[in-house]
Structure 1
Amino acid sequence: MVSPLVSKLRDILGKRKVLDSDAELLCYSFDATPLLYHKPDVVTLVDSEEDIRLVLEFAAQEGLPVTTRGSGTGLSGGSVPVNGGILIVTTSMNRVIEIDAHDMSATVEPGVITANLHALVEAQGLFYPPDPGSMKISTIGGNVAENAGGLRGLKYGVTGDYVLSLDTYFIDGSKIRYGTKCLKDVAGYNLTKFLIGTEGTIGIFSRIVLKLIPKPKTKTTFLALYDDIVDAARTVSAIISRKVIPSTLELMDSVTINCVEDHVNIGLPRDVEALLLIETDGHPEVVREEAEIIREACTANRVRSLRIAANARESEELFTARRNALSALARVKPTTILEDITVPRPVIPEMMVTIRQAAEQYGITIGTFGHAGDGNLHPTCLTDERDKDEIHRVEQAYEVIFEKAIALGGTISGEHGTGISKAKYLPKMVGSKALEVMKRIKHAFDPENRLNPGKIFLPTER
């Protein structure tokens, strides 16, 4: 029996754009975050701005909550429809509207896959640097909603640094276009920057203009191996303090290295405690100079061995290994819980020690990898959600890790967002005054709390 809700939506959008079977709803009840599941009441597969407007106007009439979803690669539960209602899926809005080589910009719909955009712009000698680990699956709209980072964030910044303009729909179905292709624009409040990273709680993006830059001419990739993870962590600050900003500076601990080698089998050594994947790019002369400085910094911090990738294929193999870190760890046990702390670079060694001690104290397995160059670490617990006692110990360990990150001047989330999974830690992170300001902003745009409810803030009465 088709519900009145589904029947009305099919009259508005057409039958093929509205899903309501149990199997279909189950497929859209979770993202890449473990332990978080909730089915929507109905799924809408929008493929135009008009579809978004029609769904929002219908939801307003019916008083229904609305959640937006791209590819579902989020790691904080941001697209899980915890209050049910209507789920808007934007993956069919996947058109690259324009690549402007003169203005060096790209105009895209929110469902464009990040890696596909990389390939298109690089074919024209241009470069879109943000490269989240999920880039072969994740969408630009989701990247903007979470302000996603990536391996190249140290040198090139994160998604928000490349967003010039946004077309945004609000909960009542109204739309604004804010921002231009201009690199300088201070007319009024900077609503574009404000909307980035709001996790689908303020508006739904329908058109995005991104800044592009020239593609680097050359690059050199290093693999640095360490017998002590503290030495690897110290190398990070040693490189930066020598006035070199690598395009990539990634860390993997021994747990991660062994899981990755089991998965991709490219010859990573199993007897080291840590490795750094380092890449410098740019003009050939600059790259040569920076490579020497990187070599010096690694040597000064007791690197066991330092190898330069012999060719592009070998470099790509190393990056493939790093990008497979999460999927490799996820193969070990039924449940993989990945976190996203960031700390100042000089205290990475102290943070790594705390992570190791927390794992030992609570008798759990944690593999840590991440973007060490900007202090963003992903302590990842390998567990089983059916073992309630172990899950409790995992939560205790993460409490210790989060508290230490905050105490060191860091944050509970560098790039994955607050969503559901970190909402309870946000008050301690930002303080009551800042939290109240955020709630007031949310209320101004969404007074009935119908747009992606249950995210960022702990649940409250509507």
Structure 2
Amino acid sequence: MLIDDLRAVLPEDRIVLDPDVLTGYAHDEAEWAPHGEPAVVVRPRTAQDVQAVVRECVKHRVPLVPRGAGTGLSGGANAVAGCVVLVTDRMTAVREINPVERLAVVEPGVVNDDLRAACAEQGLWYPPDPASSPWSTIGGNVATNAGGVCCVKYGVTRDYVLGLQVVTGTGELVRLGRRTAKGVAGYDLAGLMVGSEGTLGVITEITVRLRAQRAPESTVAGYFDSTVAAGEAAAAIRAAGIVPSALELVDRHCLAAVDAWKNMGLSSDADVVLLGRSDAPGAAGEHEAAAMLECFEQAGASWAAQSSDQTEADALFAARRLAYPALERLGPVLTEDVCVPTHLVPEMLARIDLAAKRHDTQIANIAHIGDGNLHPLLITPVGDEPARRRAQAAFDDIVADALALGGTVTGEHGVGLLKQPGLVRELGPAVLAMHHAVKNALDPHGILNPGKVVQEPVE
């Protein structure tokens, strides 16, 4: 029996069988994504623990679902009935921060903000910063190739992963990647693991690239009467050759929800707020902020200014991060994550507005608008089944519109379960077959997070 065999290879405190606890680990934050009940939750402390669990799952042909903090929004960590859920929340060591090589070595359960704080103590910076950074873990960030506010200038998680330690689908513990600044030996298997959502291996250690701490940021804010007008301002910034350190859109629905929750005294005088930042040092930063301000004004901002109050500026960006959990308090929220070419952002925002009207669905908007990554938030009343069906129809239309504009179904949240139909349309048969071939090669028994991303039965 699986449980008996797990007890034979793991200390008892690694194994969780309490039904109430199991239910809490059955799914992530994706609204309406299907899930089953796990047979057992395992909370390993070492790579050897993980290896032992994978080997038992192979022996018993039991599905294994890796999980970080459970903050995902696509169903990528949702349990399969009778599976083992492997939670990395006890693997929390920051093993090394190397200021000479500018790298850090961490276990997968390290919280993103904790790593950033540890790096800051040595004058270093880990850039990827998803909105969930106070709670999400580096392992989960790697699994979904997470982005964040600053990725418009500094890139996403894959750009910072140098190496990984991984347990494969056959139970082997291997090292992928490197510690050197350069290296092109063999296929980029570490890069392949980033964004694979636990379907190709279980990550047990991560080596990430770091940067020097950056200059203090200058913040520009603008009020707009529509998301389309704000999108035109963002497109103008891009066309002007400006690369801000952040360029974020937040609409009044999000600001009001955050204010109702946290009582932050936020303004709701505008339908849409656009927030830009520059971290260029000295006079260059002032010039860049002034250029963004000019783009705001030329795009029709009803009010725009460079902030002279750092506390106020930080509060606006804090509200951007809190938007999703604030709206979630009001009822079920189905979260989109499409990305389109930056010059087509205004058109995509217009299509989102049309989807809301067409399906009589309230859609709030937040966006990493500087790189075309849009997060429409589809809000429904609790228990309103017709509203749920309308929201899901709007969700499907938004995915179709993003693909029609040459975009992608997910910019940073991952495919999981919610984006599988869209991914099939995005990739096409030949590329899907390549995905299946990789999956079958690295997980020949089909145990690793089955049913997620793009998969087919292993023969």
TM-score bin (small chain): over 0.9
Aligned residue number for residue 251 of structure 2: 253
- Deviating beyond 6 angstroms after TM superposition, the runs of 4 or more aligned structure 1 residues are none
How does 1:73-152 map onto structure 2 within 5 Å? Answer: 73-152=71-150
Of residues 274, 296, 321, the one that matches 2:272 is: 274
DSSP 3-state at the match of 2:401: helix
Superposition deviation, residue 248 in structure 1:
0.5
Aligned residue number for residue 8 of structure 1: 5
Superposition deviation, residue 218 in structure 1:
2.1
Aligned length: 458
Superposition deviation, residue 54 in structure 1:
0.9
Mapped partners of 1:221, 1:154: distance in 2 = 15
- Conserved 8 A contact 2:57-2:63: yes
Deviations 1:15-73 (A, max 9, x none): 11101121111011111111233211111110001101111111111111111011011
Mapped partners of 2:2, 2:386: distance in 1 = 41
Mapped partners of 1:260, 1:100: distance in 2 = 38
CA RMSD, 1 decimal: 1.5
- Conserved 8 A contact 1:264-1:321: no
Aligned residue number for residue 14 of structure 2: 17
Superposition deviation, residue 412 in structure 1:
0.8
Of residues 407, 412, 422, the one that matches 1:425 is: 422
Aligned residue number for residue 180 of structure 1: 178
- Conserved 8 A contact 1:370-1:378: yes
Aligned residue number for residue 392 of structure 2: 395
Of residues 59, 62, 75, the one that matches 1:61 is: 59
Superposition deviation, residue 359 in structure 1:
1.0
Superposition deviation, residue 385 in structure 1:
6.2
DSSP 3-state at the match of 2:191: helix
Mapped partners of 1:48, 1:195: distance in 2 = 19
DSSP 3-state at the match of 1:166: strand
- Structure 1 window deviating more from structure 2 (255-264 vs 121-130): it is 255-264
Superposition deviation, residue 459 in structure 1:
6.3
How does 1:154-233 map onto structure 2 within 5 Å? Answer: 154-233=152-231
Structure 2 residue 338 is matched with structure 1 residue 341 = yes
- Conserved 8 A contact 1:219-1:284: no
TM-score, structure 1 as length reference: 0.96
Mapped partners of 1:88, 1:50: distance in 2 = 13
**Percentage identity across paired residues of the two chains:** 36
Residue identity in the other structure for 1:373: G
Structure 2 unmatched runs, 5+: none
Structure 2 residue 412 is matched with structure 1 residue 415 = yes
Mapped partners of 1:337, 1:328: distance in 2 = 13
Superposition deviation, residue 345 in structure 1:
1.3
Aligned residue number for residue 328 of structure 1: 326
Deviations 1:386-437 (A, max 9, x none): 3322222112111211111001111110001111111122111111111111
Mapped partners of 1:278, 1:133: distance in 2 = 16
- Structure 1 window deviating more from structure 2 (232-241 vs 252-261): it is 252-261
Superposition deviation, residue 283 in structure 1:
1.3
Aligned residue number for residue 30 of structure 1: 27
Deviations 1:167-210 (A, max 9, x none): 11102210221222212101111111111101100001111110
How does 1:301-450 map onto structure 2 within 5 Å? Answer: 301-333=299-331, 335-384=332-381, 386-450=383-447
Aligned residue number for residue 296 of structure 2: 298
Deviations 1:267-297 (A, max 9, x none): 3332312111111103112111111111111
DSSP 3-state at the match of 1:199: coil
Mapped partners of 1:55, 1:332: distance in 2 = 39
TM-score, structure 2 as length reference: 0.97
Residue identity in the other structure for 2:171: G
Residue identity in the other structure for 1:454: G
- Conserved 8 A contact 1:424-1:457: no
Superposition deviation, residue 10 in structure 1:
2.0
- Conserved 8 A contact 2:293-2:306: no
Mapped partners of 2:261, 2:382: distance in 1 = 23
Deviations 1:107-166 (A, max 9, x none): 111110000001111121111110001111111011001000000010000001000011
- Conserved 8 A contact 2:400-2:422: no
Mapped partners of 2:130, 2:190: distance in 1 = 21
- Conserved 8 A contact 1:257-1:274: no
- Conserved 8 A contact 1:132-1:148: yes
Structure 1 unmatched runs, 5+: none
DSSP 3-state at the match of 1:449: coil
Superposition deviation, residue 384 in structure 1:
4.1
Mapped partners of 2:243, 2:225: distance in 1 = 24
Mapped partners of 1:261, 1:227: distance in 2 = 20
- Conserved 8 A contact 2:436-2:456: no
